[in-house]
Structure 1
Amino acid sequence: MVDPQREASTGHTSPGTGGDYDPETVVIRSAATVLILADRPDLQVLMLKRNARSVFVGDMWVFPGGAVDPGDATSEADAVVEGLSDQQASESIDIDNGGIAFWVAALRETFEEAGILLARESGRSELVDLLAPENEARFETYRAGVNSGDVDFVEMIANENLVLDGTGVHYVSRWVTPLGPPRRYDTRFFVTAMPNGQEPLHDNDEAVHHEWIRPEEALLLNEKDEMLMMTPTVSMLGRLSRYQSAQEAIEAATGNSKEQDELVRIRYGIDGPGRIAWPGDADYEDADPRVESGMVRWPTKIKE
């Protein structure tokens, strides 16, 4: 079996330039993505396969997520998040202000791409039951409207007297797309538990398939080029595979702090795929952090 912590490959070679554009001028957009976990009965994570026609990471397997939109960074959006203030969110991800927009974007994209709504009635602990007869058709219509741009996600939450779950979604990583691709993102990664009363369903537009999968299995399929992934995805699967259950993984992410940050590097070979190098690895110092690097804030738990 592949040791996902020490031998994980990125599955792709060093990023090139190519194309009719200057990679130095590509704007880096803020983005957010979510690892949704469940014990089925062993630890599994929800993954989506991107449409092959997608400009960015086409045909690759990803976690639900996407760019932070202007509507995610408004006072109205801030007001529908319960249990987390903008100051707390900003301090968590180490920026001056506006951090709550990453949480809103993560939850909006999860609803758009996977049909999962991490929201509840204010003051309640249970998330909304989308399988209930009185909710199912209505929220399917909402989702179609949000995806088409006809429905504003934040307005939908407010009109339904719901609040977004700010306490159950935990920040665990940050990656910046390396120089080269025509689109670049500064992406914050979050982790949460799959809610009861909901079932994932890909949107059949940006995502054409979804699958619950064990982290170890996904890594092995990536090694065989049967599940193509970007470096951050491989990195997060490697860390996730260190846990026994969804609860254990989420507990490890709860209350984490920047003092626990691990700076991850990628060492690219001449011909083969890049290799993820963690602090303490023999080739960590040989990997150039300027090419591609990331941060993981998810305390290690070795399986017993």
Structure 2
Amino acid sequence: MSESGASVRDASTVMLVRDGDSGIEVFLQRRVKGMAFAAGVTVFPGGGVDAADGTADIAWSGPEPDWWAERFATDEKTAQALVAAAVRETFEECGVLLAGPTADSVVDDSARYRDARGKLERRELSLAEFLTAEGLVLRADLLRPWSNWITPAAEPRRYDTRFFVAVLPSGQIADGATSEAAQVAWQTPRAALASWRAGEHVLMPPTWSQLDALCGFADTAAVLAVDRVVEPIMPKYSPGPGGRPLSDFPDNERYFDELPRLGALGGR
């Protein structure tokens, strides 16, 4: 349990990227204002791990759970659930399916699974049941481990979130057909950060940090090639003028220097 008394839930977030005319583009969602966590802010697709995500009967291609467990400093069962949740949440929230009929293929049009997508989102169907029924293989090799952020201890809702990166599969389209997103867009990381600095949307530190890191890559091939060392980051609140600024995360001073003056939204 944390200082707030809230338990910490495992979660997965996927930075979906593609190559555009102006460089790397990343898929971003603005969460609906009625959400219990991070309402109205701009995020990557993702969400909490479900108990069913850890099932052992998922057809799997790519690095095995022990490989992911080592990268994310966790046990194999949790690692499998994190990867499964990353695939499930990406499909639920933007319709992109990181799976294929064979271990070395990926579906070229996920729209045919629209009904199953709705059932997954409503928790009427598990990822393993869906993949088995459709004869699909989870493509763990299309994902890369990226970072690990833990919600500050004082917050009432807390997540131990592992960030992944994946390239948009050829032929698939990312959409906004989810109850959790009010707006979606492909943007270059630099453009997303510029519009944040202009006060046009809200970025929490984890999202800001990942966008900032992506600015350093010329194309998606370079992103996939990088061997990231994943170390847990848990910001904390530090007393200071004008509120409770966060500290103990990379470049926290620069984040607050660039943060638009949004009153109570600042840093949250």
TM-score of the superposed pair, with normalisation by structure 2 = 0.84
Structure number with the bigger relative contact order (C-alpha 8 A, sep ≥ 6) is: 1
Provide the residue aligned with 1:151 in structure 2: 125
Per-residue deviation, 1:158: 1.2
Is 1:30 aligned to 2:4, yes or no? no
Distance across 1 between alignment mates of 2:232 and 2:35:
31
Provide the residue aligned with 1:43 in structure 2: 24
Answer yes or no: is the 8 Å Cα contact 1:23–1:182 preserved in 2.
no
Aligned-partner residue type, residue 180 of structure 1: A
Aligned-partner residue type, residue 84 of structure 1: P
Is 1:110 aligned to 2:90, yes or no? yes
Is 1:80 aligned to 2:80, yes or no? no
Per-residue deviation, 1:111: 0.5
Per-residue deviation, 1:267: 8.4
Provide the residue aligned with 1:130 in structure 2: 109
- The one of 82, 85, 101 equivalent to 1:121 is 101
Deviations 1:176-218 (A, max 9, x none): 0112332110000000101111111123411121100011111
- The one of 40, 49, 65 equivalent to 1:68 is 49
Structure number having the greater helix percentage: 2
Change (3 A) 1:183 1:262: closer
Q: Which ranges of structure 2 fall in alignment gaps of 5 or more residues?
A: 255-268
Answer yes or no: is the 8 Å Cα contact 1:36–1:191 preserved in 2.
yes
Secondary structure of the corresponding residue to residue 142 of structure 2: coil
Query: What pairs with 1:1-304 in structure 2 (closer than 5 Å)?
Result: 24-41=4-21, 42-76=23-57, 79-98=58-77, 99-124=79-104, 126-130=105-109, 136=111, 138-253=112-227, 256-257=228-229, 261=231, 269-271=240-242, 278=250
Per-residue deviation, 1:122: 2.0
Q: Which ranges of structure 1 fall in alignment gaps of 5 or more residues?
A: 1-21, 284-304
Distance across 1 between alignment mates of 2:12 and 2:148:
9
Change (3 A) 1:74 1:191: same
Count of matched residue pairs: 249
Superposition RMSD in Å: 2.5
**Identity percentage over the alignment?**
30
Deviations 1:268-304 (A, max 9, x none): 652276578638x999xxxxxxxxxxxxxxxxxxxxx
Distance across 2 between alignment mates of 1:190 and 1:270:
35
Aligned-partner residue type, residue 43 of structure 1: I
Secondary structure of the corresponding residue to residue 167 of structure 1: helix
Per-residue deviation, 1:168: 1.6
Secondary structure of the corresponding residue to residue 40 of structure 2: coil
Change (3 A) 1:102 1:216: same
Change (3 A) 1:73 1:183: same
Secondary structure of the corresponding residue to residue 154 of structure 1: helix
Answer yes or no: is the 8 Å Cα contact 1:26–1:183 preserved in 2.
yes
Answer yes or no: is the 8 Å Cα contact 2:152–2:235 preserved in 1.
no
Per-residue deviation, 1:107: 0.7
Per-residue deviation, 1:240: 0.6
Aligned-partner residue type, residue 242 of structure 2: D
Aligned-partner residue type, residue 129 of structure 1: D
Answer yes or no: is the 8 Å Cα contact 1:235–1:276 preserved in 2.
no
Per-residue deviation, 1:23: 5.4
Distance across 1 between alignment mates of 2:166 and 2:12:
13
Answer yes or no: is the 8 Å Cα contact 2:153–2:236 preserved in 1.
no
- State which drifts further: 215-224 or 264-273: 264-273
- State which drifts further: 50-59 or 218-227: 218-227
Distance across 2 between alignment mates of 1:24 and 1:264:
14
